[in-house]
A and B are shown apart, each in its own frame.
Chain A
């Protein structure tokens, strides 16, 4: 047998992936630094950058910030920016997971009742429970988290028992039914508690105003577990792109993969919703844009969605708190307002065949 020369071209897709990871990382780091620098109070740029370098392990520099400035940076801005990275990354990676499982570019993390469940949970607590927190945990985030998980589980249970239509159609319909039902209950509660409408709406439109280190710390374990599980499923989501039947022929149990990915993606969504309320559009648009720019494999789409989603939400948050300063825009308004045109640009620039 003739041995072939060892020179092998690196597949173009792989080369493109390295570039994409580099670009994503630079965007995220850039967005984070911008998020720390911009705000109501002017912090000296040099001081902030030095303070950040000081945080790196093994580096010790004198940042020259006053104690007040340093506290503002570390206790107000930093947790908010970290929270934005978490929420953006979680929603985007959850959206990518949902799109992979449903083989549908229109799928988003709220498809199976997570939003409606969280909305109802938060509304109930705001309306009927006059307690701010239990054991140091805010009751509204807690109710939103539980509601989101419960909504998805209801849809999944209904979809799994209500007949055997091929693939995922039953599941999506069950999600629609559960969402409609929970939203109806929520509307009923809102009619009953008209004086709380303002608080309920501001929660629905999403906000990062109240994010501190406590919230970040509480969310971190759930975020880590869900993102880790999702990233592990990249190759299997690629297998799922050929449909349940062909996946079975390749030895993959599509229903099992679907269950695990939905579980992890829903945990990610519930965590994000608990931190920030309902932020729309990001979960559908970021993975979609990533797919168009970096190719169709979920082994790249998932990690890149984390980076891009985090960067996107930090930027959206900067806009939300500067445009009408000292007031703040609801961040859900900003994500849709800048996200939609951005998405159109991506669609036009990359005219490719669809998913």
Chain B
């Protein structure tokens, strides 16, 4: 079954085309990474799919066309976390995650027992149980990112859009968050779409990649198909070497231009 299907998507901002003719497909439980140089329109694509920007073309999630869906119904279908989430510093983690239940509540309704139970389950799953009463503003970067993810999971939407979920995190926490997302999609069949600026990470985790350049899709497919040294040189203006890792996935290494690949040795060190 198709998790998410994007067909002929155009987005314009202030009458200026930002995305043109984007097509992409990802199966249920799949992971699509949207990659591309800065300003290519990666975040714009996610925002359009999340219903935050007007677009032409069609987006279908779990067989349902998203256009014209009521706001709450849309929020039950697609969960989205922005690159830079606004965190209400004085709210407790539990209350913050409870916001994820909003799409299931009527205008003036308050969260009930089942909403709280779902939130408790999510907190436990993301190892946030011991932080539940802590203020969001007091969390570390990694914990905060988990809290944001927890809020999105509390929406119980089949499609999860994450805009650069690891930008602010150190290596260890990056890995932790990405492994978590990978586990969630395998356990729950969540369809995941992320923008990722780190090509190495994208190659490791996503099963499909979509390369955007200046608002157009220039390549899509598996990591091995999309991430070639030539394509990266052309679109990123970067000098890289691509090797194949033991798992068969490509690995991307930066190569410094105008030097030998050997590490320079300074006299003092020698």
Contacts and interface: CB of A to CB of B under 8 A. Distances in A.
Contacts of A232: 108
A214 to B, nearest CB: 33
A353 B138 contact: yes
A222 to B, nearest CB: 20
Interface residues of A, number: 30
Q: Which of A241, A249, A252, A296 has the most CB of B within 10 A?
A: A249
Contacts of A193: none
A354 interface: yes
A13 B92 contact: yes
Nearest to A354: B89
A194 to B, nearest CB: 48
B90 A295 contact: yes
A291 B102 contact: no
Given A248-B71, A353-B137, A243 B155 contact: no
A251 B90 contact: no
Contact of A249 (B52, B91, B132): B52
A354 B105 CA distance: 28
A198 interface: no
Interface in A177-213: none
A249 B91 CA distance: 19
Interface stretch (B79-87, B200-208, B213-221, B226-234): B79-87
Interface string B241-262: 0000000000000000000000
A242 B82 CA distance: 11
Interface stretch (B56-64, B93-101, B176-184): B93-101
B94 A241 contact: no
B71 A253 contact: yes
Contact of B133 (A13, A233, A354): A13
A248 B52 contact: yes
B37 interface: no
Given A13-B95, A238-B95, A355-B89, A249 B137 contact: no
Contacts of A353: 89-90, 135, 137-138
- Chain B interface residue count: which class? 35 or more
Interface in A95-150: none
Contacts of A55: none
A253 B107 CA distance: 10
Contacts of A250: 75, 99-100, 102-103, 155
B110 interface: yes
B74 interface: yes
A248 B51 contact: yes
Interface in A242-264: 242-243, 245-246, 248-253
A246 B82 contact: yes
Contacts of B120: 8
A296 B89 contact: yes
A354 B138 CA distance: 11
Nearest to A257: B107
A248 to B, nearest CB: 6
B52 A297 contact: no
Contacts, number: 95
Given A12-B133, A291-B90, A295-B92, A245 B74 contact: no
B90 A11 contact: no
Given A12-B133, A13-B133, A246-B82, A252 B89 contact: no
Contacts of B74: 251
Contact of A245 (B82, B111, B135): B82
B88 interface: yes
A236 B106 CA distance: 10
B50 interface: yes
Interface string A317-355: 000000000000000000000000000000000001111
A241 to B, nearest CB: 4
A291 B91 CA distance: 10
Contact of B75 (A8, A13, A251, A352): A251
B85 to A, nearest CB: 7
Interface in B37-52: 50-52
Q: Which of B79, B137, B138 has the most CB of A within 10 A?
A: B137
Contacts of A243: 86
A296 B92 CA distance: 8
Nearest to A249: B80
B99 A238 contact: yes
A235 B108 CA distance: 8
B91 A238 contact: yes
Nearest to A247: B102
Nearest to B120: A8
A295 B72 CA distance: 28
A299 interface: yes
A171 interface: no
A236 B105 CA distance: 10
B100 A296 contact: no
Contacts of B72: 251
Contact of B86 (A11, A242, A253, A295): A242
B219 to A, nearest CB: 29
B180 to A, nearest CB: 20
Given A242-B86, A246-B86, 8 more contacts: A235-B108, A243-B86, A249-B78, A249-B79, A251-B72, A296-B88, A352-B135, A355-B89
15 contacts: A13-B94, A233-B108, A235-B109, A238-B88, A238-B99, A241-B88, A241-B91, A242-B86, A245-B52, A246-B85, A250-B75, A250-B100, A295-B91, A296-B89, A353-B135
Interface of B: 50-52, 70-76, 78-80, 82, 85-92, 94-95, 99-100, 102-103, 105, 107-111, 120, 132-133, 135, 137-138, 155
